[in-house]
Structure 1
């Protein structure tokens, strides 16, 4: 369960981490009043659960209350990577001296948590890691020990953070443990000119298995939930919206994850994760295709199925049925292999839709879908 930035900041404040004063609204007129209460000059930030808000124009500085109303009006209703902005957060500006990056994330493969920190905050950590990997420290955290002041001091030293960040590192770990989080991220964590350490932004993902302990926050998060995720959940589908342009459908979480990696390796970005399961019916396939095609960011769709419990002819029948109810405007690349693959391919050949093509290998299908999505 991903929280909005303002929810993450509330958690930080609950655990003693300093955050600038801020309020949230969905009304431009209320934005004017909030700006007046906060002192006039404010930062207006779109509240959507995705990155890249600043580059998309979803984070702007307003000089006064009237400008705050105008800016809120411009940002509300924006589409940022497929997420519609329903609310904005107005925050008091901070006089920044330096910016840092800090996060704790679950490392499932190693069975532990990983602290990731850098003295170069305020920009995408992936960019820093790619161009200057030595600037990003990765420190394993034993869940049994946690982040004690001594461990926090090691993290700060490894990343080149000032000693006064140690207390915040300990408190962020408290957020992760006590709030059942899988990810806690602050970018930027800043040092102000008067010596304070403050969290200017926040990203928190709570464990869905602990949702019953966080009912209020879950309800608030779902209130602005991506409509495609909500529609998929209502149909019993395992769908997660991502930030790319290639829609991905597969049967089995492992196969879908592998498909996402192959698509990325072909120079495109997956637009979603959608697992139709190991025993999916033709109706499930039709429902899944409808959800993926409803995403305006999708430029092509890749269906990658290895027939086992789910026979390939059932998948093909689902595609054919979906084409009868959904107007296909994006190219659809299908790879069928395994149980009843030949019969499934024949069904698609019989339908002969001009935007549907078949490729026999996963690598080939991913390459074709990536090409179709990224070629003007």
Structure 2
């Protein structure tokens, strides 16, 4: 099950991963009120459980609270890849220096966890793998051992960032394990003047684990 982005946002915050200021809105009027409490500029994101919503027009920028309301009016009630937009996430648009990619996924066949990282974020990772495979780093992590410093050091060097990413990787690993997730992804992980911020988040939960996990049934 793919979680809504706002659900993934709350989990990331719970595990100490830095995110941009963002609040859910169910109506254009709510979006206006929310935007008045968040510093401009903004991004308005349709909340749908599908991939590729950005290319489908589900993520739009706005400069003022009134523009946020107009964008929310355009998005709420429309369909994106067959799913009706009922809510939008209004967020602060951060100052981007670099966009990175990082994910952790469960590999059932090798019984391991795979960390995937690239210095090129904000793009389709599968398309990037076809066009520029050398830009993608893959590291297998033994779940009986967990994340070790030599794992995070390789990721740091590949991304060209400081040790902030070590804490992010460990937190993503904990989310993956404790939520029985198939995938925990940040795309992009943005380098800003204030540090690394997880700007777009995705979590896919193993459906078979949902009834048995108190974190998912609370």
**Does TM-score exceed 0.5, indicating one fold?**
yes
Tell which has more relative contact order, 1 or 2 (C-alpha 8 A, sep 6+).
2
**Gapped regions of structure 1 (runs ≥ 5):** 220-376
1:66 is aligned to 2:66: yes
Is the 2:179–2:215 Cα contact (8 Å) retained in structure 1?
no
Deviation track 1:206-262 (CA, whole Å, cap 9, x = no partner) reads 22233135567569xxxxxxxxxxxxxxxxxxxxxxxxxxxxxxxxxxxxxxxxxxx
Deviation at 1:40, TM superposition (A): 4.4
Against the structure 1 CA distance between its residues 117 and 12, is the aligned structure 2 distance closer, same or farther, given a 3 Å change threshold?
same
Describe the SS at the equivalent of 1:96.
coil
Look at both structures and tell me which one has the larger radius of gyration over its CA atoms: 1
Deviation at 1:153, TM superposition (A): 1.5
Deviation at 1:180, TM superposition (A): 1.9
Deviation at 1:82, TM superposition (A): 1.4
**Gapped regions of structure 2 (runs ≥ 5):** none
How large is the Cα RMSD of the aligned pairs? 1.7
1:51 corresponding residue in structure 2? 51
2:93 corresponding residue in structure 1? 93
Deviation at 1:170, TM superposition (A): 1.4
Answer with 19-28 or 165-174: which moved more. 165-174
2:84 corresponding residue in structure 1? 84
Taking the TM superposition and a 5 Å limit, the aligned residue runs for 1:180-259 are 180-194=180-194, 196-212=195-211, 217=216
**Separation (CA, whole Å) in 2 of partners of 1:23 and 1:117:** 28
1:8 is aligned to 2:8: yes
Deviation track 1:261-310 (CA, whole Å, cap 9, x = no partner) reads xxxxxxxxxxxxxxxxxxxxxxxxxxxxxxxxxxxxxxxxxxxxxxxxxx
2:119 corresponding residue in structure 1? 119
Pick the structure with more strand per residue: 2
Q: Figure out how many residues of one structure are paired with residues of the other and give that number.
A: 217
Answer with 39-48 or 85-94: which moved more. 39-48
Against the structure 1 CA distance between its residues 16 and 216, is the aligned structure 2 distance closer, same or farther, given a 3 Å change threshold?
closer
Deviation at 1:190, TM superposition (A): 1.1
- Structure 1 length normalisation: TM-score? 0.55
**Separation (CA, whole Å) in 2 of partners of 1:203 and 1:178:** 15
Deviation at 1:2, TM superposition (A): 1.5
Deviation track 1:187-215 (CA, whole Å, cap 9, x = no partner) reads 00111023x11100111012223313556
- Structure 2 length normalisation: TM-score? 0.93
Describe the SS at the equivalent of 2:36.
helix
2:149 corresponding residue in structure 1? 149
Is the 2:41–2:92 Cα contact (8 Å) retained in structure 1?
yes
Deviation track 1:329-357 (CA, whole Å, cap 9, x = no partner) reads xxxxxxxxxxxxxxxxxxxxxxxxxxxxx
Describe the SS at the equivalent of 1:212.
helix
Describe the SS at the equivalent of 2:86.
coil
**Separation (CA, whole Å) in 2 of partners of 1:95 and 1:142:** 36
Deviation at 1:174, TM superposition (A): 1.4
Is the 2:99–2:190 Cα contact (8 Å) retained in structure 1?
yes
Deviation track 1:347-369 (CA, whole Å, cap 9, x = no partner) reads xxxxxxxxxxxxxxxxxxxxxxx
Is the 1:100–1:161 Cα contact (8 Å) retained in structure 2?
no
Is the 1:100–1:118 Cα contact (8 Å) retained in structure 2?
yes
Deviation track 1:67-106 (CA, whole Å, cap 9, x = no partner) reads 1111001011222111211110000111111111011111
Pick the structure with more helix per residue: 1
Describe the SS at the equivalent of 1:204.
strand
**Separation (CA, whole Å) in 2 of partners of 1:125 and 1:51:** 12
1:176 is aligned to 2:176: yes
**Separation (CA, whole Å) in 1 of partners of 2:213 and 2:137:** 31
Is the 1:35–1:41 Cα contact (8 Å) retained in structure 2?
no
